[in-house]
Amino acid sequence: MSITRSIEAKLAAAFSPERLEVVNESGLHAGHQPSFDGEGETHMRVRIVSAAFEGMGRVARHRAINDLLKEELDAGLHALAVEAAAPGEPVRW
């Protein structure tokens, strides 16, 4: 299973989101280091709206997602951008 699909499955199971988007942004980072060509799944963005985040601050939401995706981070996911919101909160996407 790809990292993208693994992330989607874990987030869906844990947070029952109203909206979920997992974007592979690895290609945007090609050339940032001499040996990195932008291939693979090393830089991801998670956009998620879930009632599970109601009453949680931004840092707590990020920690919950990072804790859930620890296996992917330990296996080589280099960067994870998180845009998490509760229903009714404004989002930029």
pLDDT computed for residue 42 by the predictor: 77
pLDDT computed for residue 70 by the predictor: 96
CA distance 28 to 83: 18
In 3D space, the residue among 36, 41, 60 whose CA is nearest the CA of residue 50 turns out to be 60
Domains of the chain: 3-33+41-85 (3.30.300.90)
CA distance 36 to 79: 13
Chunked in runs of 10, what are the mean pLDDT values of the chain (93 residues)?
91 98 74 53 90 98 98 88 97 91
Q: At what angle do helices 3-15 and 58-68 cross, to 10 degrees?
A: 120
pLDDT computed for residue 32 by the predictor: 57
pLDDT computed for residue 38 by the predictor: 44
pLDDT computed for residue 34 by the predictor: 52
pLDDT computed for residue 40 by the predictor: 61
pLDDT computed for residue 3 by the predictor: 87
